Amino acid sequence: MEYEISTGHNALERMLIDGSTEPMDLPLSLLEDITNCFSDDQQIGIGGFAVVYKGMVGNEPVAVKRLSRTFDMQENKFHKEVECLMRAKHKNIVRFLGYCSDTQGKIADYEGKLVMADIRNWLLCFEYVPNGSLDKYITDASHGLGWRERYQIIKGICEGLCYLHERRILHLDLKPANILIDNHMIPKIADFGLSRCLDKEQTRVFTSNLCGSMGYMAPEFYSGNISFASDIYSLGVIIVEILTGQKGYSEDDNVTESWTIQLQASDQADTQLEQVRVCTKIGIECMNLDPKKRPVARHIVDVLDKTKTTISIQKKLSSAVHHIIRRPRLLTAAGTQRRQRRVEASKCGCRAGARSCRTA
């Protein structure tokens, strides 16, 4: 047991140092050790299907997610989550470190009799993201985060979702509570408990079990016909919420006006207002009731990248035009001075030119 725990500690420590290390099968004894036997004091989050604990590996914290034992078809759900997490390695996705699927024999009371029962444990281990979830940062637009941070978060979420979709992964529960924020305010998509990995030719899934979070679920969730566009709808709700502090707010003119007032004192007001306009447009397009009319994740990322490039080009052009306009004026002024010296030199009869003329 001691050897197993020590070996596991060393492996996790190496993993935290080397970002290229693959997730691994972790012994239950190790996860119990680093969380103080899943002590209530170590709890950092609780949901309908799992409890999350903070664990310490050396001086580095990690997060350990313990899935509920009572949830129906939990083992199948666990395998699907691990499958998706093994595919996902991106700066805007919480890093997956390892998993544990373990069976323990324990004495339990069954119909008044003590029996030996097999207890299943399903656990997942992740990097620890210290600043909590996005929902704690987006109240209304006039409080909390400034535009620079909000734009960085929007762009990061879009890039993370694009990565998932290009690897055929549906998240299916995208919401601010499932987006974690690190020390540099970089967003990381988390909680793949409802996610699905699709085959190469597969574009949608059908389900009779309504899952997801109210307010962020696309309308087609209710018919059980789910596709990548369903995640895009959730993304749109999140973008608008980051912009306004409200879910489902779609008055784009009011959004721009609100941010115009807030950004008027900024030395980058024009750049930031253009970003606001682009993000507002993207958010509203993502919430189109028709899944076929929603943009795909790659297009959204390309638009955001193009906006950054366009603004940079506009700045360079503006600087160049300003330089060109000012330069002839300087040349004209210098030319006027030279002509004036020549006139004065000719008046005094100096043949050497204006520079030699003392009266000039």
pLDDT in tens, 33-76: 999 999 999 999 987 778 999 999 999 999 999 988 665 556 77
Shared domain for 257 and 119, answered yes or no, is no
Question: What pLDDT does residue 327 have?
Answer: 47
Spatial separation of the C-alpha atoms in residues 88 and 234, rounded to whole Å:
19
Structure confidence at residue 359 (pLDDT): 46
The predicted pLDDT at position 207 comes to: 65
Q: Which residues contact 124 (CB under 8 A, 6 or more apart)?
A: 64, 65, 67, 81, 82, 85, 96, 98, 99, 100
Q: What is the pLDDT of residue 222?
A: 85
Give the pairing of strands 196-197 and 113-127: unpaired
What CATH number does residue 92 fall under? Answer: 3.30.200.20
- Answer yes or no: is 350 within a domain: no
* Residue 263, domain member (yes or no): yes
The domain boundary, picked from 261, 279, 295, lies at 295
Question: pLDDT for 303-325, tens place per residue?
Answer: 999 986 565 555 555 554 444 44
pLDDT of residue 300: 98
Query: Whole-angstrom Cα distance, residue 325 to residue 358?
Result: 34
Domain edge (last residue) among 278, 295, 312 = 295
What pLDDT is stored for residue 246 in this prediction?
A: 78
Nearest partner of 158 among 99, 258, 239, judged by Cα: 239
Residue 338 placed within a domain? no
The pTM assigned to this predicted structure is: 0.79
Which mean pLDDT values do the consecutive 10-residue runs of the chain (360 residues) have?
Answer: 82 89 93 95 87 94 87 70 91 96 76 77 94 85 78 98 96 95 96 84 66 86 90 96 78 70 74 92 95 98 85 53 48 56 60 48
Residues 138 and 11 in one domain: no
DSSP 196: E
Are residues 164 and 291 part of one domain?
yes
Residue 106 forms part of a structural domain: yes
pLDDT of residue 233: 97
The count of domains in the chain is 2
Task: Say if 55 falls within a structural domain.
Answer: yes
pLDDT at res. 208: 55
Amino acid at 77: K
Instruction: Choose one of 295, 318, 347: the last residue of a domain.
Output: 295
Residue 325 confidence (pLDDT):
47
Same domain for 155 and 105: no
Return the pLDDT at 238: 97
CA–CA separation, 195 vs 170, rounded Å?
5
Residues 151, 286 within the same domain: yes
Eight-state DSSP code of residue 195: -
Q: Tell whether 245 is covered by a domain.
A: yes
How far apart are alpha carbons 297 and 175 in whole angstroms? 16
CA angle 217, 68, 114 (to 5 degrees): 150
Identity (one letter) of the amino acid at 10?
A: N
What residue numbers bound the domain in which 255 lies?
Answer: 134-295
Q: Are residues 156 and 260 in the same domain?
A: yes
Same domain, 244 and 269: yes
86 contacts: CB under 8 Å, gap ≥ 6: 23, 96
CATH number of 144's domain = 1.10.510.10
Question: Are residue 155 and residue 285 in the same domain, yes or no?
Answer: yes
Choose, from 33, 173, 191, 231, the residue flagged as catalytic.
Answer: 173
Amino acid at 247: K
Residues 81 and 25 in one domain: yes
155 is in an annotated binding site: no
So what's the pLDDT on residue 51? Answer: 93
Does one domain contain both 241 and 109? no
341/337 Cα distance (integer angstroms): 6
Same domain, 216 and 153: yes
* Domain assignment present for 252: yes
Query: Same structural domain for residues 187 and 65?
Result: no
Instruction: Verify whether residue 173 is a known catalytic residue.
Output: yes
